Amino acid sequence: MTGTGGAQERAHALVKAAEGLFAAGVMSHSGHANLSARLDGERLLLTPGFVRGVRPEDLATVGFDGKVLEGELQSVSAEIVAMHSVVYEARPHVGAIIHTHSPAATAFAVANRPLPCRTEPMLRFGQAEEVPVVPWGPRGSDVSVRGIADVLERRPTTAAVLLANHGLLVFGPDALTTAHLLVAIEESAEAEIAAAAIGGAVDFPPGAQEAVRAAIARRTS
């Protein structure tokens, strides 16, 4: 893959994010995932469908319309371009998107249950609300893409959605920030499932979000 320095930097960031997800142990047994980075208002970088050991040169440059502009894209990956493009088009500030079948988060997707925000890492990494569920549709289909667009319109501050009976879609300003949030969401899903065995998880007290923001502001000032 060739391109501008910005594209190369984004490619390396996607690879580093993928490596971080495996190191954190949040990937499914198959290692299936797809990661993308926005290049501009019409193009994105996209990983192949299985990202274990992915290299920058494995990434393809793809138009939001699905046309491969540089590199190669397997048909199984081509199906998901619209899933990424609809997020970029709806959220101009989003610079990277990660889709995984992370086991605990996928359990909530399979149950068609939103994931509550009840852990501090979710607050700190940008998901200070429940992760909503997008109704099921065949992957990459108009039904699925419209469902994502509808949820993003109704939930303008969410940084993640659960794809019913499928998996998790997380988005943020850059690849590493997005990966950190994905790890936080998977850990939170694990904690929710574990807490159910001892009486159930409990919501944060009122003012928790403001308290976390104040603590972060003090630390970074």
Domains in the chain, CATH or no CATH each: 5-220 (3.40.225.10)
CA distance 112 to 99: 17
CA distance 84 to 1: 20
Q: Which residue has the higher pLDDT, 137 or 105?
A: 105
Among residues 2, 162, 179, the alpha carbon closest in space to that of 96 is found at 179
Q: What's the half-sphere exposure (Cβ side, CA atoms, 13 Å) at 81?
A: 23
pLDDT digits (tens, 9 = 90+) for 77-126: 677 899 999 999 999 999 999 999 999 999 999 999 999 999 999 988 98
Buried b (16+ CB within 10 A) or exposed e, 101-115: bbbbbbbbbeeeebb
pLDDT of residue 1: 39
pLDDT of residue 183: 98
pLDDT average, residue stretch 142-156: 95
pLDDT of residue 208: 82
Per-residue pLDDT band for 4 (boundaries 50, 70, 90) equals very low
Q: In what order do the strands lie in the sheet with 96-100?
A: 68-70, 60-63, 43-46, 33-38, 96-100, 167-172, 160-163, 133-134
Task: Say yes or no to pLDDT of 220 above 70.
Answer: no
pLDDT of residue 75: 65
**How far, in whole angstroms, is CA 155 from its chain's centroid?**
15
pLDDT of residue 217: 67
Task: Say yes or no to pLDDT of 168 above 80.
Answer: yes
pLDDT of residue 131: 98
Task: Say yes or no to pLDDT of 136 above 60.
Answer: yes
- The pTM score is 0.92
pLDDT digits (tens, 9 = 90+) for 173-215: 999 999 999 999 999 999 999 999 999 999 988 888 788 877 7
pLDDT of residue 209: 78
132-135, long-range: CB within 8 Å, 24+ apart, which pairs?
132/158, 132/161, 132/162, 133/108, 133/109, 133/161, 133/162, 133/163, 133/164, 134/161, 134/162, 134/163, 134/164, 134/169, 135/164
CA distance 119 to 45: 32
pLDDT digits (tens, 9 = 90+) for 21-79: 999 999 999 988 999 999 998 999 999 877 888 999 999 999 999 999 998 887 666 77
